[in-house]
Structure 1
Amino acid sequence: MGADAVTVDTQRASTVTAQSDAVGRLLRTWPPSPRVVLGTALVLIAAQAVVRGSLVLGGNLYWDDLILIGRSSAMPLLSPEFLFYDHDGHFMPAAFLVAGVTTMLAPLQWSVPAATLIALQLLAALAVLRVLWLVLGPRPVLPAVLALYLFTPLTLPPFAWWAAGLNSLPLQAALAWVAGDALLLARTGRRRYALTGTVVTVVALAFFEKSVLVPFVAFAVVALAARVDGTRSPVLAAWRSGRPLWLGCGAVLGAWAAVYLAVVDSELRFPAPAEAAMFVHHGTSLGVVPALLGGPWRWERWPPGPPWAIPPTGLVVAAWAVVALAVVLTLRCKQRTGWVWVTMVAYVAASEVAMMLARSGPDTVYEIAQSLRYTSDSAVMLVLGLALLIRAPRRPDLGRVGPLLQPVSTPPFVAAITALLVTSCLWSTVTFARSWEANPGAGYLAAARDSLAEHRDVPLLDQPVSLMTLLPVAAPWNMASRVFGPLTDRPAFASSTSELRALDQSGRLVSATVDPTRWTVQGQEPGCGTRIGPAGGDVPLSGPLMIWEWTAVLNYHASVDGTVSVGLGAGAPVDVPVRAGLHQAFVRIYGTGSALSVRPVTPGLELCLGSGPVGVVVPGTEAIP
């Protein structure tokens, strides 16, 4: 037994010695060289590209994406009516331009929009790395701070949704890039940074109106960096060092504001104090704050709406506790950090106020604040604030707190905390992907593309797409002719057809019928019904019709091939091709009244009309063979 004990002790001693040697090697190579720090950061960016790429490639076109595509096919690419359009309060000509080019390259194909999202996210990640390098230098903690931006769930929702990503990702990239240019201008005085910063601001404004915040964030970063470095009058110093950039951005904002006010006609709504408090609670306690710990971990969704965060109560409490502890420790242990916290809070608050002014209303649920789309760009400001807190010098006398901070500042502790946070972020990414992939409109679009390509022989009457794809509030862009207009491999959409077909709720092209609201009255002429001579005539209905878009069935016998004009009251008449002999025509007409007006357009054309239904189209169950 004694020999065994000696052997065990020897093995333990060898293990301890090996561990000590490993720690010694780590300490001898610490801190890592700038090349190692940069390489680690680039590896993290590549990892983010893989994670986010997997997420977005599993997605599909959704809601506003289809509106962008529909407008792209309906209007000239560089026309003012296409680019300068008030899209639900957004002014985004560059986003429309990207959507138009993408639609030209691959209409209704998800691969190209997904590629644009991945490219924009990569651009934003590199811009954030650049500004963090300027704030922190090659400190070993830089990759940890960068990882918080790269993997935070705060930026997930707008990244996965193409239309939202075309707003949010250029803004994120611009916030980081212009702040970096402002720091470089302050350090070097080279005016080229004023030029590039102004140009990037212009580009960002063309994608998203919220980019008006870009120069203000850049100014704040320069002023805060000067303050934590101990510069007297940091605001004045920031103004003087970056004056060419601030003046250039000011001129840009002035010109942009004039165009914006001329284009956008959305009304702002000021919520009641109780409503505002609920929006802040949902957006902050259930949105931004849990995301700081990698939350929310869970997502809820009411199709066809997007997912929103539903963090567990324990995570919310823990996140607030960590934020409170971080505030206390940095104020106690770091010099001149109070305004950094004020700036971070102010940016999140500005995002939530903008959301309330533009999106609150009697039909708006508070969960919209938990969708994280309206605060996603706060991720850039939060990591910049964290970098500035790290940059701030320690207070010379930490008292009893000093010894407690020693373990916290060691590389193993920082690495362990970063790994835990990234793991938490990745779990939220997985649960978001599961929710986002449950997109009921994706199957409809795929089935409709295939079905339309297989049956191009008969024109289709227009119809709204599935409610799970676009709701009627998106009219007229929820019509099949708008959504599928960019496709070349499809039947024509027309106001009349000789065979009634429709897309069912699954996207299959099926035979259809007209559910009658009224009938055309059977005429009294034997063997003809109602005779329509060259001068035309009115065909009475069995009762009046309210103003709507109706479908009429014309059971006719035509003397020759030609065209007739069919109208309902004051609505615009529709030209309908007819063939000689006994046939049917299905006509989509808009109007109100008690009679159809039928006028031959072709000289010498006469018609005999029988009774037929006038009503709405109902898809059948029989697929087109």
Structure 2
Amino acid sequence: MASLLIAGQLVLRGWVAGAGYLYWDDLILIGRAGSESLWSAKLLLYDHDGHFMPAAFATAWLVTAIAPLAWAGPALTMLVWQAAASVAVLRMLVVLLGPRRMLLVPLIFYLFCPLTLPAFSWWSAALNALPLQFALAWVIADAVLLVRTGRRRYAVTGVAVLVVGLLFFEKSVVVPFVAFAVAAMARYVVGERGAVREVARRGAPLWIGSALVLGCWLVAYLVVVDIATARSEPGDLAGLVHSATSLGVVPALSGGPWGWERWLPAAPWAIPSSAAVAVSWIVLVAIVVWSIRTRPRVAAVWLIVVTYLAVALVPVALARGGPNTVDELMQSLRYLADMAVVLTASFALMLCARRRRPEQVSRPRGAVVVAAVVAFTVSSSWSTITYVRSWSAGTTERYLSTVASELGALDAPLLEQEVPWTVLNPTTYPQNLASQVLSPIARPGTFAESTPRLRMITDTGDIVDAQVWWNRNIRPGPHSGCGYRVQGAEPVRLLLDGPMLAHKWTVQLNYLAGRDGLVTLAFEHGDKVTVPVQKGLHTVFVRVIGSGSALRIATETAGLDVCVASGPVGVASYDN
């Protein structure tokens, strides 16, 4: 039965994956994969917005190398990791509860709870969240088995899985601590004394091995990642915590949130109604009260759940919060996907906990349990359907598909430009440059600093002719019939009809060259660009970064004489 449930989850998640596409950080991952080699430190040791995840970058590189910009590869990796995490959770439940039918209840919770849905559907988030879920479930089971049997192999596999988790997601540092807590609770809830001391002693090989791994990992993390990112204020933190609990986690425990909102290019966030939030809190409080009343020792389990939620929330709020952060950030739920494993383990502990007085405490009838499980599954499925409706909206697939087909017909290079903000926001610069995003499919020379034919990629991915918007103009030169005469390496000033601020500008250079060769072009304040010129009367468009009231031009080819005429300097545009 458990196998059928996991298969059902994978079918449902396969449908979710099929409705998605590459989004935001996914494009950063594939862009770096297309521009760096697999074993490059620039790829594996890249500080990705505070994340240290070399294995995730390696996975992205392999997927991109096999099928650049094809969604099938990312979708397959998501499903493989989801299958691994689900099997690990099943193993954990068998270890905690034994092979009995009651384990299907917490298993169904994990398999279909919407709490894991947003992190699964977004590839780059899945490469963090799913290995963490796998590591949590696997190491919890290993810890319990090590304490129970004393077999050292569980310490070895536990440490190995911890290493894997850390290579995908730095949040995996919580794994050994959660495993210790669950192993201790597994003995405590059944009435054993000295549970913490016994787990510490019998599980020592796992705890010592984990400590050594965490120590080595911490050194690497501090070298790679800039940790000076905490910027939240108390008010921000309070708002984010409220959004994560009342509007996020609590409704998800009942199969919510049932509705999602999305403003492109943001990811969907949960929008449960006020009534749904109130009902969800009532259900949660009722479960907590009933469980503690019938099984007093599960109060410690609930304390662990609350503690883990706080531990999960605070670092995210500190790292992602601030004056420009909205509370809906936490309602996206992707930062809390690992809570599903902790909650599943906690529910299992509650099921095996010793009752207050077995002869006086009635158990829920089978029909009631079945009805509750069915209601939760239906509720979760509806939340999944409404999520997919929101998640499937977007412009990225059309943009990338169109531009991929257009690149093959290029007969001249393109100047650098940013991709549309609906595809990748300017805050990610320079990762949002077209040359970076399209690096897996762009041939060498597709993008250059100069081009004889100015064209641009539109917001829909079409490549069209463009012009230079006349922000400024090169004034006519002093030499009659030539304009500005350029000979030798001594720079000649091309005067503009006004100053220009520091920016990325496009120069339309109209010239007459005596032979083929190279010239350099730069603003008064800025780096120079090497530009190839051809013999005869031509125009070349050059992307120059800088500021000033003049351009500086010089030749790099011996014997090259160039005359430069007036021309516009400004912003390249295809709709002016």
| 2:397 corresponds to 1:436 | no
Please give the per-residue CA displacement for 1:464-506, whole angstroms capped at 9, x wherever unaligned: 0001011111010100000001114686100000000001111
Unmatched 5+ stretches in structure 1: 1-39
> Structure 1: how far apart are the matches of 2:283 and 2:508?
69
Counterpart residue number, 1:508: 462
Shift of 1:450: 1.6
Please give the per-residue CA displacement for 1:353-378, whole angstroms capped at 9, x wherever unaligned: 12111111110001101010111110
Counterpart residue number, 2:318: 357
> Structure 1: how far apart are the matches of 2:72 and 2:382?
25
Counterpart residue number, 1:492: 446
Q: Does the Cα contact within 8 Å between 2:191 and 2:354 map onto a contact in 1?
A: no
Please give the per-residue CA displacement for 1:37-73, whole angstroms capped at 9, x wherever unaligned: xxx1110000111100111121111001111111112
Counterpart residue number, 2:146: 185
Please give the per-residue CA displacement for 1:63-96, whole angstroms capped at 9, x wherever unaligned: 0111111111222221222211211111111111
Counterpart residue number, 2:341: 380
> Structure 2: how far apart are the matches of 1:355 and 1:124?
23
Partner residue of 1:144 out of 84, 92, 105: 105
> Structure 2: how far apart are the matches of 1:205 and 1:317?
37
Q: Does the Cα contact within 8 Å between 1:457 and 1:491 map onto a contact in 2?
A: no
Counterpart residue number, 2:135: 174
> Structure 2: how far apart are the matches of 1:386 and 1:353?
24
> Structure 1: how far apart are the matches of 2:183 and 2:480?
90
The 5 A counterparts of 1:567-606 are 567-606=522-561
> Structure 1: how far apart are the matches of 2:522 and 2:117?
50
Q: Does the Cα contact within 8 Å between 1:456 and 1:489 map onto a contact in 2?
A: no
> Structure 2: how far apart are the matches of 1:139 and 1:417?
19
Shift of 1:380: 0.2
The 5 A counterparts of 1:146-545 are 146-269=107-230, 271-396=232-357, 399=360, 402=361, 405-406=362-363, 408-410=364-366, 412-453=367-408, 455-488=409-442, 492-536=446-490, 537-545=492-500
Q: Does the Cα contact within 8 Å between 1:532 and 1:598 map onto a contact in 2?
A: yes
Shift of 1:135: 0.7
Shift of 1:111: 1.0
Query: Aligned to 2:336, what secondary structure does the other structure show?
Result: coil
Amino acid at match of 1:513: Q
The 5 A counterparts of 1:50-129 are 50-129=11-90
Amino acid at match of 1:523: G
TM-score by length of 2: 0.97
Shift of 1:191: 0.4
> Structure 2: how far apart are the matches of 1:503 and 1:273?
44
> Structure 1: how far apart are the matches of 2:242 and 2:63?
38
Amino acid at match of 1:204: G
> Structure 1: how far apart are the matches of 2:37 and 2:194?
52
Shift of 1:409: 3.2
Aligned-pair identity in percent equals 48
Please give the per-residue CA displacement for 1:237-292, whole angstroms capped at 9, x wherever unaligned: 11112110000001111111111112111324364443322222110000000000
Q: In the superposition, relative to structure 1, how do residues 505 and 438 fare at CA in structure 2: closer, same or farther (>3 Å)?
A: same
The 5 A counterparts of 1:38-49 are 40-49=1-10
**More displaced stretch, 49-58 vs 274-283:** 274-283
**More displaced stretch, 439-448 vs 186-195:** 439-448
Amino acid at match of 1:325: A
> Structure 2: how far apart are the matches of 1:397 and 1:147?
26
Please give the per-residue CA displacement for 1:506-555, whole angstroms capped at 9, x wherever unaligned: 11111101112111111243322222223452211112222111110011
Q: Does the Cα contact within 8 Å between 1:511 and 1:620 map onto a contact in 2?
A: no
Q: Does the Cα contact within 8 Å between 1:456 and 1:490 map onto a contact in 2?
A: no
> Structure 1: how far apart are the matches of 2:396 and 2:386?
20
> Structure 1: how far apart are the matches of 2:37 and 2:526?
28
Shift of 1:193: 0.6
Query: Aligned to 1:555, what secondary structure does the other structure show?
Result: strand
Q: Does the Cα contact within 8 Å between 1:452 and 1:491 map onto a contact in 2?
A: no
Please give the per-residue CA displacement for 1:174-198, whole angstroms capped at 9, x wherever unaligned: 0000001111111211101100100
**More displaced stretch, 311-320 vs 207-216:** 311-320
Query: Aligned to 1:180, what secondary structure does the other structure show?
Result: helix
TM-score by length of 1: 0.90
Q: Does the Cα contact within 8 Å between 1:568 and 1:589 map onto a contact in 2?
A: yes
- CA RMSD across the alignment: 1.5
Amino acid at match of 2:477: G
Please give the per-residue CA displacement for 1:375-434, whole angstroms capped at 9, x wherever unaligned: 1110000011001000112222675xx3xx44x232x32222111101100100001001
Amino acid at match of 2:502: I
Counterpart residue number, 2:562: 607
Shift of 1:582: 1.0
The 5 A counterparts of 1:16-55 are 40-55=1-16
Please give the per-residue CA displacement for 1:183-215, whole angstroms capped at 9, x wherever unaligned: 111121110110010011011011111101000
| 2:508 corresponds to 1:553 | yes
Amino acid at match of 1:422: T
Q: Which has the larger radius of gyration?
A: 1
Q: In the superposition, relative to structure 1, how do residues 271 and 527 fare at CA in structure 2: closer, same or farther (>3 Å)?
A: closer
Query: Aligned to 2:10, what secondary structure does the other structure show?
Result: helix
Q: Does the Cα contact within 8 Å between 2:236 and 2:322 map onto a contact in 1?
A: no
Amino acid at match of 2:441: L
> Structure 1: how far apart are the matches of 2:231 and 2:458?
41
Q: Does the Cα contact within 8 Å between 2:407 and 2:442 map onto a contact in 1?
A: no
**More displaced stretch, 436-445 vs 177-186:** 436-445
Q: Does the Cα contact within 8 Å between 2:489 and 2:556 map onto a contact in 1?
A: no
Query: Aligned to 1:607, what secondary structure does the other structure show?
Result: strand
Amino acid at match of 1:460: L
> Structure 2: how far apart are the matches of 1:486 and 1:374?
29
Query: Aligned to 1:149, what secondary structure does the other structure show?
Result: helix
